[in-house]
Structure 1
């Protein structure tokens, strides 16, 4: 029973990674969905977005999935440098934005 949460997190991470293989942002400069590690707090993810010079548009089903608009060009690369696991098209990832 003590292993259920880590197993669920691993399964969710793999599912998101598999789904995002075809979810590359069409126009990263128009906005992206940034997926940060699920063990981060929302504040940590928001701080990473701020450091990357991004503007949070909305939050996903998990507080570490954020739709972000750029403050200047090159947002996707800066988000990755700040710890984002995945950068995907916000329309392709819309299923991640409905809280359960």
Structure 2
């Protein structure tokens, strides 16, 4: 259960990062509320998961999911470049996260 919550919390990290971008410095109400709510839920989920998942592994998995998700959305929906070197770097992040899960 803790791992499922951790993965969901990592996805919520992507939500709050994109909402923060869309909020224009917290000046737009709906993205700002989305940011605050998703941030709180993401942190609460991380806190729950870290009760049983080792802190180093849990934090890296959480950050990795959020970072990769945010980068992918940036490339797919926000017009950020999807160059081969960037994609390779994202694959390296994924490989590191998977490795930490497998070898924890």
TM-score scaled by length of structure 1: 0.34
Higher share in helix: 2
